[in-house]
Amino acid sequence: MQTFNSNGKLLLTGEYLVLDGAKALALPTVYGQSLSIEATNSKNIYWQSIDHNGKVWFECEFEINDGFSPKAPVNETAFTLTKILKSCKTINPDFLKNTSGIKVTTKLDFPNNWGLGSSSTLINNIANWANVDAYKLLALTFGGSGYDIACAQHNFPISYQLKDSDRIVKKQDFNPVFSDNLYFIYLNKKQNSRDGIAHYKLNKNDLQKEILEVNHITSKIVKCVQFEAFSKLITRHEQIIASVIQQTPVKNLYFNDFHGSIKSLGAWGGDFILVASKDNPSNYFKQKGFTTIIPYDEMILK
């Protein structure tokens, strides 16, 4: 049996602007996804996806020698997997050549509505299995900046930047001494990053000034050793992105009376937020109905 593992992701700085060359700080998470392959006596691919509770949430059979056509019943997930497998074959024509039957099992460490990278971890695992470039596979399927693929492949914080036709991925020594004051809180709904990107592209103007300031903030956050300074930096970052995408910061929308700093992560409007607070904020957020509260050190790979 072959097994592949990929890390989930959170984008601490540079959301949206990373698409246009901003330097982003990205954090791989403790939570991820695995993919295992084992031979069978059939002539097809039997695919089984297991959620974080150990329950099968998707299963389907695909024809290996017929363009990976899914067998009934067919749904959106089956069509998405067909597209991914076909894209692998486009990049690497030898993928699954002379293969009889296999069983593919994927296992998520986290609820798939958390927005930690159920798609990017899948793409990276399949790319490793198919011996193809994960960034190329992402471009042919889901699209995006690719920072999530970089997180899937690295076990430490990274900076990620698109420059000309290159991507620059660098290890960052980001391990804040005030991590006990940082929390990730789930907003009880999944945000479609592709929709957020489409909205951003439709409304963007010349963003060089904003990109330069976000780059400066990213550099300062990486080196930050004071909690108060960090809080001011993420608040300013939130103001910049709010202006760029013409949306209201999440703190102003839902948590205006909170004594601390709050920053959106990735696509605005859902998934996780970062909370910087001198005191444990769990009771405040639980009273407002947000019960998934994960301390920084329990979420982020070191």
Q: How far apart are CA 282 and CA 263, in angstroms?
A: 16
Residue whose pair of structure tokens reads 């991925």 in the numeric block: 169
Rounded Cα distance, 59 and 50, in Å: 9
Tokens representing 178 are 């005030």
Q: How confident is the model over 217-269, as pLDDT tens digits?
A: 999 999 999 999 999 999 999 999 999 999 999 999 999 999 999 999 988 88
Distance CA 235, CA 253 (A): 14
Q: Of the given ranges (58-62, 160-164, 269-273), which has the lowest mean pLDDT?
A: 269-273
pLDDT of 140-188, one tens digit each? 999 999 999 999 999 999 999 999 889 999 999 999 999 999 999 999 9
Alpha helix (H) residue ranges in the chain: 76-91, 118-130, 134-140, 147-153, 193-203, 208-223, 227-245, 250-254, 282-287, 296-299
- pLDDT surpassing 90 at residue 197: no
The CA dihedral of 220, 224, 228, 231, to the nearest 10 degrees, is: 50
Q: What are the sequence ranges of the domains in the chain? A: 2-171, 179-299
d(CA 37, CA 249): 44
Q: Which tens digit of pLDDT belongs to each residue from 18-29?
A: 999 999 999 999
CA distance 264 to 251: 9
Query: Could you give the C-alpha distances from 290 to 53, 115, 262, 283, 284, in angstroms and in order?
Result: 20, 16, 14, 10, 9
pLDDT tens digits for 103-112? 999 999 999 9
Instruction: Check whether 201 has a pLDDT greater than 80.
Output: no
CATH of 2-171, picked from 3.30.230.10, 3.10.310.30, 2.30.110.10, 2.40.30.10, is 3.30.230.10
Q: Give the per-residue pLDDT at 261.
A: 98
- 161 to 16, 19, 169, 206, 301: CA distances (angstroms): 12, 8, 7, 18, 20
Q: How confident is the model at residue 73 (pLDDT cuts 50, 70, 90)?
A: confident
Asked whether the whole model's pTM tops 0.75, one would answer yes
- One-letter amino acid at 145 equals S
| Mean of pLDDT values over 117-140 | 98
pLDDT of residue 24: 97
Asked if residue 201 lies in contact with residue 282, where contact means CB atoms within 8 angstroms, the answer is no
pLDDT digits (tens, 9 = 90+) for 160-173: 999 988 999 999 99
CB atoms within 10 A of CB 186: 21
Looking at the domain covering 179-299, what would its CATH class be?
alpha beta
Q: State residue 206's pLDDT score.
A: 82
Mean pLDDT (the chain) is 94
CB neighbourhood size of 263 (10 A):
22
Rounded mean pLDDT, 202-222 = 91
Across the strands, what pairs with 101?
A: 40
**What is the pLDDT at residue 7?**
98
Percent of the chain with pLDDT over 90: 85
